[in-house]
Structure 1
Amino acid sequence: KARNHQFQAMFGGWGTGTDPDTSINLWKTEAARNYVNYSNPEVDKLFEEGRREFDIDKRAKIYGKIHELLYDDQPYTWLYFRNSFYGFNKDLRGYVFSPRGPYGYGPGFSSLWKPVEN
């Protein structure tokens, strides 16, 4: 029903990653996961600018402006934000870091291994 926009309210959750552009699929007007039909031409324009910009400081300003617009428009009501930090023993090998984080977007912890000590 969410994909067909047949709801009055819904509850959901997601995680992004280290690059804020991964959230374009939620906020751009015609995006596949824009279930709430959010549309703001300024947000669309800023996402396109962010995709073309390589300077980290300039990108931070662009995505910061997107954040401000989303905060003002409130297409969603955010209930909480969870920070996650992961540490590994220096002897572990094989972890594949994903730009979307460790939540099932890659082999995650199943790829870890430890060399045999001689």
Structure 2
Amino acid sequence: AEASYDAWEDAELRALIEEASATIDIDARADVYTRIHQYMYENPPFIYLYYPNVFEAINSAVQNYTPRPAEDYNLKNVWLALDN
């Protein structure tokens, strides 16, 4: 079985996810996802105790960068302007 990046594995949750993946009917699948959300609410894989302050500084040559405070850096569409 695949585990998440934090190595959390739950057989009941895995079964619900597999049920959702195998369900073709849209309304029935939505019901399974509602059960998944409720299960994760009642059995959270982890609890964030805090989120550290993040400070960023960017040179004017950096183009198309969007700060994403709760995620890793995504530099896929970022480039440097050579005329700065």
State the TM-score, normalized to the length of structure 2. Answer: 0.49
Q: Which has the higher contact order (CA 8 A, sep 6+)?
A: 1
| Higher fraction of strand | 2
Larger radius of gyration: 2
